[in-house]
Structure 1
Amino acid sequence: MAIPAYYSLIQRGSTGPDVALVQTWLNGLRDTCTWYHELTTDGRFGTKSVNAVKEFQLKNDMNVDGKVGANTWNVLYTKYTAKHGLHVPYPGIVLRQGSSGGTVRLVQQKLNALGEKLSTDGKYGASTAAAVERYQRRNGLTADGTVGKATWEKMF
């Protein structure tokens, strides 16, 4: 399983599936020494998410800015997989047309490995939705062109 490639800086006000994945990773890394409460996996990067990232950065001797750049993204993924295994968890929100980010690119790469010819640009457009529908039909899933929990778990 490949790491979802870092896509763009996540900071206060960011939204989308990559934010939800970061929230999932942070929740999966909580332990008895964690100060922050479990985050709501809603894909919205607000004060609680910023503070959770700051704590993670502090514990891991990183630059503490509360933002998720490439380095924080990669360290989060490495720590999460060390604890939970090499598995990318469902981001927690449905991927659909208009979504973008590393999670979308990961879906595009997976579909291409299965014979599709998508641009792996991390932008969920009509061609990605059509490829997802084809995948869903082949795998006995509801063919709605969106990647929810069932489609994600079958794919990964």
Structure 2
Amino acid sequence: MQATDIFPKTIQSLPTLRRGSQGKTVKNLQERLNILGSRLVVDGFFGPATEAAVKYYQKDNGLLVDGIVGPQTWNLLLKSTTVPFEVLQTLPVLSFGSTGDNVIRLQNRLNDFGASLVVDGIFGSKTLAAVKNFQHRYSLAADGIVGPLTWNALLHEFF
């Protein structure tokens, strides 16, 4: 996989986001900020909490602290979070009882990390145990729920 498959063709192709912005790109921003430790509601609305998280990220990374997500902030944010831009928009939160292709993807990825799961697309007790073990091993909350933080860790070495 090439770098052009991972990131948008240019950082400039991403819209500048600020308070009041809405939509899928804001959700993606919120998911990335959550991967880095924020606790935002991923609602696609760039409100005061998202602005505060952006400012914290900018300050923490030596950027101009203006709460606006432009090319410099996008560039560092995309490098800091390893899941490709489009992938985060397509990965659902998975938990005990989930089924389907994304569970198959999860089970295959867990097997890449040493789990010995039957890949059947059913998030049962063995998949739950493997997820909790993976989360514990990578210092994540071992709650058995596969959300953005766990997906990021699972997919990190793949991309």
TM-score (norm 1): 0.49
TM-score (norm 2): 0.48
- The structure with the largest alpha-carbon Rg is 2
Normalized per residue, the structure richer in helix is 2
Which structure carries more relative contact order (alpha carbon 8 Å, separation 6+)?
1
